[in-house]
Structure 1
């Protein structure tokens, strides 16, 4: 069975999850897994089965570039014409025609991941005649311009008409392929997709959480790694991990406001990724820039006593299973896919209300020793729910189910 994954890249939350699945399928199953990406942004050798699509360079495309009438130019002009407050907006029309690649001729299943601004919806869904499995990583496949509901709501006044136009286009373009199958990493996203006008008509399968290679997250001596990082001062260590601290949806502002109002004599703060946060100077604060070495990241998770995910809106993050793999509990607002895995008092803390006050109250409870977590039990939860082997086996079975449906 040959499966070809399509993703913008192997980096970023969605790209990492997609590439991990590709690797797990090759490692644990007999699936002939292949990976097509738009950009090669990785810092490692991705192997022979990863193909990076070259930039469009045809004569016609060069002429369109000269007159600034490529889909990308027109999309950019639309974006400039209608400014707004959003994380990202993307369009269904691009210059790429990856459906013409030879790799798809003998592919049994085309597996889409995060493909925004990569595949050209009108031609792709019309030409691909193979079964399509689409793993959703956010809401964009069943929305218009936006990737999350919060952005759509905040920009209704300025971008509402354009958003509706793109929404209608997606309905028409995607409907050109009748064999589309949907799977999500969380039931929360699955329910949203099933209720949508764009994807609600297609079959949705049992949710499959993202998998991780747990061998890369070994159980470390927590006291030793605390000493190594200079965190062996008897205080509890709070960890925050984010690629971009400027993204409103990630809730960094909420966390900063909460942290600045806590008793600084009770905790250390560690952040990873993005820029350094401006905090009360009395806080023992260590910042690590973006980390590509998993062993280093694993050390930081192991040194933490609590990982905080303050997202206002999220599907499910890679941070949660990574933290669990190290036996570190996770605090999150009660939203998205986190609700399906975090059990307050067992492997983390769910905060019901999205507010600074609620965040402060729950962090105080943690710092005042109102919770007692068992690191071994938390790691076992990760082993039982997020192992890459289990992830690969579930996807192989899903591929077989989709192909058998055609017989």
Structure 2
């Protein structure tokens, strides 16, 4: 076996022994991210599964009974009638019986409707603790929807009694149909729903990319710094092996880990994003934003090149560190400013930025996975290819500089003083 393969195998084994590394590269993307997506999906499904409604009826007329019958036939709504003499007693009973919402029908409800007055209902969300409040919010929305339908039907009857032939034209003289024009095609989905689906993608991805970059960078820097700290790097450099072979083996070892990380993060990301769309009921495929196998392959290359850049940059920065702790400090000081601008993409559309701001943001390699994911779902493979070309140049240049530094004596002599004063000679 050649010296290169022996050293590369050694590098991979050393990295694989680090339990924190394995957790960051495999456990987090393959288990934590899918679990987060499933938890979000489970939370919304639990909130929308069934609404438990308690009703206390203080009204003696027909419209109170009509409202109760309307709620009884509503899908995903279970109605419980509560007998109470006061509001406080009704609320306590609703809480004891694990109801989500209490609907209070006042004593003058039917009388107000019959006298053409506005009848007022009271709806109380019953919170059992300090949680997300999603279930109570969904329950209120369902009740309001039923009340709105019932209110409209009563209004139609009253308008008909006045002699109108088309009550709908009087109650709703203007009708709005909301659609979206997305990527050159008309989608029968309101813009607000499309925005919610796209926003769900925009908020999660920058956090995933940030964690991916930080974990792989700390991993690479720690591997180099630990060898310097333990003096094993000096021993390695004294072996009858070319410096270029040593550098190539280290870069290959970290590249192998980068490929593992890219694959793990792609699988985890796919599972994580599957949790979105449940809340709106509209998936990416329904918007014509499906992901093809070819696009997935291209995006995998983007992730790999981003990781390769962060690994090589971290290795280069670790040369100036004296130990693992200082290496992590140096890496954080450089990587954080480079990665932080990508969070702008959580709130701003890249195309809405001025040309200078757009290209300044794209100069950071860490912004490309976020932007390229949008190209991926839009099937803009030309833009993906341009991004891959840019990342290839940047990652290649960083790897070249790192190799040159490792091939020189700077790998043993380079230091950052961090403000320490030199002792007088």
TM-score (norm. length: structure 2): 0.23
Question: Radius of gyration: which is bigger?
Answer: 2
| Structure whose residues are more often helix by fraction | 2
| Structure whose residues are more often strand by fraction | 1
